[in-house]
A and B are shown apart, each in its own frame.
Chain A
Amino acid sequence: MKEVAIAGMGFVKFGRYDGQKGRPYKEIYELGADAITKALKYADMEWKDIQVAYGASMFGGLGVPNQCTSRLGMPGFPITTVEGACSSSQQAMRQAYLDIANGMYDVGLAFGTEKIPPGLIADTLSPVWMLRMGFNLPGTYALGTRAYMQASGATEEDMARVAVMERKNAIMNPNAFWYQGPEITVEEVLNSRMIASPIRFLMACANADGASAAIVCSKDKLKSKAKAVTIVGSAHATATYGYDNLGNSVREKMNPNCTELACKQVWEMSGYGPEDMDVIQLYEAMSPSFLWDAEDCGFCKRGEAAKLVREGYFEIGGKMPANTDGGLVGRGHPTGATGLAQIAELFFQLRGEAGPRQVPGAKIAFNHCSGGGPNALCHVLKR
């Protein structure tokens, strides 16, 4: 297996590009092309260096990746759309990684782009008969949240605390939806509109538009070997028996869930463990899931996450800095672009380019990404 490096990453600031209220208007493929151009520039590579592309867009339609790349060039290399709900763009990176690690190609492009309509994100994973009965994404999250609160003793304050931390981090991230602030307080979170009890508005990720892209290559193809970031672990797992398509446990726990499974695989593959990580990203479309993700991924014992949040364990200055760029809650969640945005933050951290968010001396990073399916994707990056 060849060593695979991330040569460059590019971003379109997560925000709103709907042309309303004085905001700029951009087509979804313009956002994607923009992110790709930035990633190429960072990597000091040219369009003609790319040999394969994997693209993602959850709501844009299946032709979007081709539309994005063909704004830049049309040399005919394979372009494949991959979908894993909210993990889609990271799925794209993983496929490029597998191709390159196994010698199929030397340089690949992975990207995701999204424009999300306002309001509740459509749950297209559940069949129509379930949707007619009122099943929806926040509702499903809320069920998991209640079960977790019962089992762990975590409170709504704990969930609010995660959101507060992430909104604070977002203010240091020029690419985040909430870059302009404001900071929020626990009280504000707990007084915000209820979406699906106990999940409140300020615990939820903002619907956002945006794009992210990565150039992935075999290490020897890097233009610059300085501070090279390589992918040392990659794993993808889906539901085991006892879980539904959104990852909720529907039986007495018989099997590990997909996050536990993917983590187990990535720790084995990389040879590292949670304690070796310097900076991490945990997927939390709604802030409560930060808590159980931290436990599922092995960063603390079952039921312990809330206490650690209270102690500042996951803050930028804490023992295990997490979601230093704001996470989904602070960064916003253009679903097809989020996965690579998580990787991007870890990449910038390892390269020492995270500015005010910098975790000093970060050398090894961990990413957990999940999406409806369910899918859990875990990566370990190293400098």
Chain B
Amino acid sequence: MREVAIAGIGLAKFGRYDGKKGRPRKLYPEMGGDAIAKALKYANMEWKEIQAAFGGTYYGGLGGTHQCVARVGLTGIPIVNVYSGHSSEAALRLAYLRVALGVHDIVVAVGAETLPGGLLDNQTMPAWMRMMGLDPLPAAAACRAVRYMEDYGATVEDFARVSVMERKNAALNPNAMFQQEVTQEEVLRSRMIASPLTLLMNCANADGAAAVIVCSKNKLKSKKKVVTIASMVQTSGTYGTTPSGGSVSVSTKVKNPDCIELAAKQIWEASGYGPEDMDVIQVHDAFSPAFLWNVEKCGFCKRGEAPRLLKEGYFEKDGKMPANTDGGIMGRGHPTGATGIAQVAEIFYQLREEAGPRQVAGAKIGFAQGASPGPNAVLTVLKR
């Protein structure tokens, strides 16, 4: 497999573009095209050099990538709409693989989203389950949080702390939806969504787009501060950790690593690095407690240890393991199709020393954990 570099990244600022309350109105193809154009500019490349495109939009409907690409150029290249759950890091992984395997030299991956308001439609469940109200994603996360509290003594204050940290980080990220910090009190007192998760512990529906151009190393226009993808792995749900298709039961007897633990195990083996080697990380937390159990599952600390470390400032920008320095999902907002690439984008900027006030000094190796309903996990290690 060849070395694959990231030639450029472009982000369309996450926010609300629904045309209400004086906000501008933008649909996802426009934002996707915008992100691609920015990525091309960063990479100092032209559209005609792109040989394939992979992309995702979870709610945008069919042909999402085609519609984003059509804003930039129509050159007949293969364009594949890709999903693993809702985030587009599966698109990035395919883009990476097609370059690594030598199928193409220069490929773009784009994720774009225009979300409706309110509880998102959970397409992974059939109608009969949904009639019984079994589908809301916050409920599944909330039940997990309840067990996490029961098993490890975590508290809602710990969950709030994640949001506080991420909103603080987001205030330093011009591309994040939220530009204002929040306090512990504000998070705890915000409206309850699915107990014990309050509004500010839930991802905010957002619109936005993110695009990345990957290429074989020799195709880079500039060889300075080259960032390569050291490894990318993707996994799906394992038996005993989640209900199977069409089922509502989970085994209590079989113990398997879940898809995130499995992916983490694979990526540490494949990349030759370990969690301790990472300088800056991205953890997927569409619900703030997920930060805690995901960072544990990825191997950054022992199970149940994350709340204590968080409290000690371990994951802060200037802590031992800076995480979600751009605000994570709590701070960035969650245009579901674009989040995955946005996570990788922040690691990229960190490694390129372009993270401005969010910069982690001397960052050379970074990690991004994406996850989505399915369930699916896509993990990435980047290095400079």
Contact = CB atoms under 8 A, between A and B. Distances in A.
Interface in B234-264: 234-239, 242, 244-247, 256, 259, 262
A38 B273 CA distance: 41
B236 A79 contact: yes
Given A63-B125, A66-B245, A238-B79, 17 more contacts: A60-B123, A63-B374, A66-B236, A66-B375, A71-B245, A77-B236, A78-B376, A79-B374, A79-B376, A85-B63, A102-B102, A104-B101, A237-B77, A240-B74, A245-B66, A372-B62, A374-B66
Interface string A78-113: 111111110000010001001100111000000000
Contact of A127 (B27, B85, B244): B27
A75 B238 contact: yes
B244 A63 contact: no
A375 B126 CA distance: 29
A129 to B, nearest CB: 10
Contacts of A242: 74
A28 B245 CA distance: 10
Given A79-B376, A102-B101, A74 B244 contact: yes
Nearest to A57: B123
A236 B78 CA distance: 5
B81 interface: yes
B66 A67 contact: no
A237 B73 CA distance: 14
Contact of A79 (B73, B84, B122, B373): B84
Interface in B306-327: none
Given A76-B259, A243-B74, A70 B237 contact: yes
A67 B124 contact: yes
B135 to A, nearest CB: 11
Interface in A336-381: 372-375
Contact of A375 (B79, B85, B124): B79
Q: How large is the interface on B (under 10, 10 to 19, 20 to 34, 35 or more residues)?
A: 35 or more
B254 to A, nearest CB: 10
A30 interface: yes
Contacts of A78: 84, 90, 93, 233-236, 376
A147 B29 CA distance: 29
Interface residues of A, number: 57
B83 A70 contact: no
A124 interface: yes
B192 interface: no
A238 B239 contact: no
Interface string A176-220: 000000000000000000000000000000000000000000000
B67 interface: yes
B60 to A, nearest CB: 9
12 contacts: A27-B246, A33-B245, A66-B237, A67-B126, A67-B245, A73-B239, A78-B93, A82-B81, A83-B80, A95-B94, A104-B97, A125-B61
Contacts of B97: 99, 104
A308 interface: no
Contacts of B86: 62
A35 B245 CA distance: 15
A77 B70 contact: no
B76 A237 contact: yes
Given A66-B124, A98-B101, A239-B70, A245 B77 contact: no
Contact of B82 (A82, A127, A374): A82
Contacts of B125: 63
A98 B93 CA distance: 14
